[in-house]
Amino acid sequence: MKTTILAGTALAILGMSAAKAADILPPIVEAPYIEAPVYEPVSVASGWYLRGDVGYSWNKLRGADFFQGSNATYVPFASASLRGAYTVGGGIGYKATEHLRFDATLDFTGRSRFTGSTTGSCGVATACVSTDTSSMQALSLMANAYVDIGTWGRFTPYVGAGIGGTRVAWANLSNTSCDASNPASCDPTVIHEGETNWRFSYALMAGTTIELNCALKADVGYRYRNVKGGKMFAYALNGGPGYDRGFSSHEVRGGLRYQFGGCNQVAEVPAYTPPPIYK
C-alpha cells in the first residue's frame, strides 16, 4: 500500500516538473518569409526628338507706307493686303521633363501675294489711283518652349511660346498709276526693287500630341506668329522707298515628331514588393 502511494506521488511530482519546464522554454517561431523583388522592363527614351510640320498661314499685313513724289511726303497706302500661303518646316527638340520640352524650328512661308493702292497726282492726271502688286516669302528661325498639360489615353494637349527672327523677302513691286476718272489712261508701269531683311518675331502655340507608337507622335495645332515691320521696296521715279508695318499670321499646322530611342532602350525597374509576413 505504501509502495503504491509513493509511486503515485513520484509520478505527480514528475508531471509538475515537466509542465514547469515547458513554461520556461521560448515559443517556436518560424523564420520570416520575404519575397524577392520582381523586375519588370520599362521603355525609356532619350529626351531628343526631330519634328517636321506642314500647314497653311492666313496672313494679315498691318499696313504699308512710302515716300511719295518729289516732295518726299511720307504717306500710307490707301489699301494693303497680304494673302495666305503654305508653310513647311522642321526642327530638333528635347523633352526635359514629363511636362516640359523645348525645340528650335526653321519654318518657310511660301509666296504670299501683296495687293495695294495709292492716291495722288501722276503724269496723266492730277487725281490718280495706283495699283501695286508684289509678293513676300518668309523664313522664321524660332526657339520654342512647350508645356504638356497632361495625357489622356493617346492624347496630350499642350501650350507653348517662341521667340526669334524672320527673314522677310519682298519681290519687286509693280506700280501702275491711272487717271481716277479714266482708268484706261495710265502712266507707264514703274518697278521698285524689293527688299530683304531680318525682323524680330514671336509666336504663341496650342495643340495636341497624338501618340502613334513608342517613338512616333503626331502633332496637330495652331500657331499665332507676329513679325515686326521693315523695309519693303526701294526708290524709283519719285516714289519710295516703302516700308511695311509688319504682319501677323494665323497658322493651322500638322506634323510628326520622332523620339530617339523611344522603342530601343529598356530599363529594369523593380515591381512593388509587399512587406514581410511573419508567421
Sign of CA dihedral 233, 239, 245, 250: negative
Of 63-72, 87-96, 168-177, least confident by mean pLDDT is 63-72
Is 156 within 8 Å of 99 (Cβ atoms)? no
Residue 178 lies in a domain: yes
- Rounded to whole angstroms, the Cα distance separating 57 from 223 reads 9
Name the residue range of residue 246's domain.
Answer: 39-269
Indicate whether 20 belongs to any domain.
no
Cell of residue 195, nine digits: 527688299
**Terminal Cα-to-Cα distance of the chain (whole angstroms):** 52
For residue 9, which amino acid is it? T
Residue in the structure block whose three cell numbers are 519681290: 171
Q: Is the pLDDT of residue 55 over 90?
A: yes
Residue 13: partners with Cβ closer than 8 Å, 6 or more residues away: none
- Please state, in angstroms and rounded to a whole number, the distance separating the CA atoms of residues 136 and 227: 13
CATH number at residue 117: 2.40.160.20
Q: Does 118 reside within a domain?
A: yes
Cα–Cα distances in Å, from 28 out to 22, 31, 32?
A: 12, 10, 13
DSSP for 6-21 reads: HHHHHHHHHHHHHHHH
Provide the domain count of the chain. 1
**Is residue 248 assigned to a domain?**
yes
Taking 50 as the threshold, does the pLDDT of residue 147 lie above it?
Answer: yes
Model confidence band, residue 43 (pLDDT cutoffs 50, 70, 90):
very low
pLDDT in tens, 260-272: 987 865 555 566 5
DSSP, res 172: P
What is the C-alpha to C-alpha distance for residues 278 and 32, in angstroms, rounded to an integer? 5
Per-residue pLDDT, averaged over 28-34, amounts to: 57
CA dist 212 and 217 (Å) reads: 5
Indicate if the pLDDT at residue 205 is higher than 70. yes
Asked if the structure places residue 25 within a domain, the reply is: no
Q: 79: which strand partners?
A: 117
Asked whether residue 19 is domain-assigned, the answer is: no
pTM: 0.78
How far is C-alpha 32 from the chain's CA centre? 55
Query: If pLDDT is split at 50, 70 and 90, which confidence band does 200 have?
Result: very high
Longest dimension (CA), the chain: 162
Q: Do the beta carbons of residue 160 and residue 142 sit within 8 Å?
A: no
Helix ranges restricted to H, the chain:
2-24
In a domain, 106, yes or no: yes
Mean pLDDT within 69-78: 85
Q: Is 253 exposed, middle or buried (0-12, 13-18, 19+ CB in 10 A)?
A: buried
Alpha helices in 184-256 (DSSP H): none
Answer yes or no: is 27 within a domain.
Answer: no
- What's the rounded mean pLDDT across residues 111-137? 95
Single-letter amino acid, residue 193: E
∠ CA 85-91-97, rounded to 5°:
125
**What was the pLDDT predicted at 268?**
58
Compute the distance between CA of residue 144 and CA of residue 89 in angstroms, rounded to an integer.
14
With pLDDT > 90 as the criterion, what percentage of the chain qualifies? 71
